Structure 1
Amino acid sequence: MSTSPRIAMQGVCKQFAGPTAQVLGQQVLQDVALTLEKGEFVCLLGASGCGKTTVLHLLAGFEQADQGTLLIDGQPIAGPGPDRGMVFQQPTLFPWLSVLDNVTFGPRMAGQSQAAVTGQAMHFLRMVGLQNHVHHFPWQLSGGMRQRAALARAWLPGPEILLMDEPFGALDAQTRLAMQELLTGLWQTTGTTILFVTHDVDEALYLADRVLIMASAPGRIRTERKVPFVRPRSVEDLVADPAYGVLKRDILHIVREESAKSLPAAIFPSPPSPSPAGRGERPESASRLAQ
């Protein structure tokens, strides 16, 4: 018996209005098609301005597509819903609320009492290592701790889908790696379906089951690469694997091609061929990994 994918987008187009009636708007997305299966972790990778965040906003129900279909478990997206959580680039915590009150804010606004949600909130705060900071305010936390609070807040309502918009981009390298490890552990524990936007190829290869690479101007899914490395993953093992370097180089070449389309040639010259022989074909090992 066939089942619907958890997320399905087909033929999705989105144009933003121009500043005046006489100025044409910007075509942000054109014929976007993607699917995510239940429990899958997929990274969306692409050049700045290619529409990655717009894809998340459409799936979250914050924006409406001009054309195409967007389905969650086979049902059209009518607007935001508790089945989808969103984690933004910045933690967006309320500075006047404690960590615990920030994490429980959504359920309390939906009518649940503080007492009813505190136990579950503490469960997630323990999972992200903030059980000793529940009465601290955001200004008393480090950047990584604030983002951990945002993760606990997103997971508290029990979403089936988590949409993540470069949540670790502003963190230092060590904190970022710790957050990636924390996120992987939470995902494996909860089985949540995750669509994760990033500019970082290493981050995508560490986290994802598949990497979707977007084309630029207007945005669409250009290609995908399956990530073949077994879980649990460690950064040390990945960088020591020759296949990791081959796959990373392949993806970087595609991303650089797309980035070059939106920048002057003097600033961003055409990327060299990834082929060892310089003939433009992909290495055999990269082709094999992409299958």
Structure 2
Amino acid sequence: MNQTVKIRLESVGKSFAHGRHAEQTLTVLEGVSLDVLAGEFVCLLGPSGCGKSTILNLLAGFERQDQGRLSLDGRPIQGPSPQRGMVFQQPNLFPWLTVLQNVVFGPRMARQAQQDYLPAARHYLQQIGLEKYADHYPWQLSGGMRQRVALARAWLPGPQVLLMDEPFGALDAQTRLVMQDLLNRIWAQTGTTIVFVTHDVDEALFLADRIVLMSAHPGRVREIIDVPFARPRRPDALFLERAYAPIKKQILQALREESSHMLGQAPLELPADAPDVAAKVA
């Protein structure tokens, strides 16, 4: 992997107005520092309300930090840019546009010539298995198909960084596995740097090079876990890896502790011989 730092967060803090009075604020992020390497796949994992989505919004340029510095290739992030694509939990497609028209919406609005983006758009539709649905409308597609369209739309401009906020969270388990495999394949081909928010431990272990565990609010980086599994990966084969269960247990225990802190309760310790449990936390 390229060892060049692509994204850097240095002591980043962010607060929002809170309560009935404007002077009241809630600190969402505090002292967050993180380097993401070029071409790396990083997953942010933590309890609800720890600021994972806020980090993505700051990186996308939708919000501005109150403290610290965010940079891309050493240059400060000061607003939205085509260099940084965003994929949300909901596909947010335009219902009056066809699949192809949704995919090319960005370049078309930028008044680029069709010959510059149309072949690539059709290539991505082929990659996601929807070339036969180019003239269909979103309401004619399943949820998973709509999210595939959103993925192609985000990748078409050739972003250097793709920011993904629980993009598969609303999908059923089977469709989610298909989407994870699809994302892995396109990422391997493009080398795009990805920052991916999830609540699903298995998803993070399957997709990520590194997992960033966040503390309960105010969000801080609690620890960073290197995922040791070789690529390409298959979800069914991962379960057979000797390191899989210990890493998953470590992450689940950390998430339980942080969720307990958020609720003001003592954390529940997992017994040494605890069987594998559901990976969806928070």
| TM-score when normalising by structure 1 | 0.90
Structure 1 counterpart of 2:183, one-letter code:
L
> What is the CA–CA distance in structure 2 between the aligned matches of 1:143 and 1:18, rounded to whole Å?
35
Contact 1:10 1:34 in 2 (8 A): yes
SS in 1 for 2:90: coil
Partner of 1:271: 268
> What is the CA–CA distance in structure 2 between the aligned matches of 1:23 and 1:260, rounded to whole Å?
29
Residue 18 of structure 1 and its aligned partner are, at CA, apart by 2.5
Contact 2:47 2:216 in 1 (8 A): yes
Residue 119 of structure 1 and its aligned partner are, at CA, apart by 1.2
Contact 1:4 1:74 in 2 (8 A): no
Residue 113 of structure 1 and its aligned partner are, at CA, apart by 3.6
Identity %: 58
> What is the CA–CA distance in structure 2 between the aligned matches of 1:39 and 1:117, rounded to whole Å?
23
Residue 237 of structure 1 and its aligned partner are, at CA, apart by 1.3
> What is the CA–CA distance in structure 1 between the aligned matches of 2:252 and 2:158, rounded to whole Å?
35
Alignment partner of 1:169 is 2:172 = no
Alignment partner of 1:198 is 2:215 = no
Contact 1:12 1:33 in 2 (8 A): yes
Residue 274 of structure 1 and its aligned partner are, at CA, apart by 5.7
Gaps of 5+ in 1: 278-291
The ranges of structure 1 where at least 4 consecutive aligned residues each deviate by more than 6 angstroms after the TM superposition are none
Of 2-11 and 44-53, more deviation after overlay is shown by 2-11
- CA displacement, residues 180-230 of structure 1 (integer Å, 9 cap, x when unaligned): 000000000000000000000000000000000000110011101100011
User: How many residues matched?
Assistant: 273
Partner of 2:233: 233
Partner of 1:159: 159
Contact 1:253 1:274 in 2 (8 A): no
Cα RMSD for the two superposed structures: 1.7
Alignment partner of 1:64 is 2:51 = no
Partner of 1:243: 243
> What is the CA–CA distance in structure 2 between the aligned matches of 1:274 and 1:210, rounded to whole Å?
26
CA distance 1:262–1:40, shift in 2 (3 Å): same
- CA displacement, residues 215-273 of structure 1 (integer Å, 9 cap, x when unaligned): 011001110110001111111211122310111000100011111122253xxx62115
> What is the CA–CA distance in structure 1 between the aligned matches of 2:252 and 2:271, rounded to whole Å?
9
> What is the CA–CA distance in structure 2 between the aligned matches of 1:45 and 1:162, rounded to whole Å?
17
Partner of 1:214: 214
| TM-score when normalising by structure 2 | 0.93
Residue 4 of structure 1 and its aligned partner are, at CA, apart by 5.2
Gaps of 5+ in 2: 275-282
Residue 117 of structure 1 and its aligned partner are, at CA, apart by 1.9
For residues 1-291 of structure 1, what are the structure 2 equivalents within 5 Å? 5-21=5-21, 24-263=24-263, 265=265, 270-273=267-270, 275=272
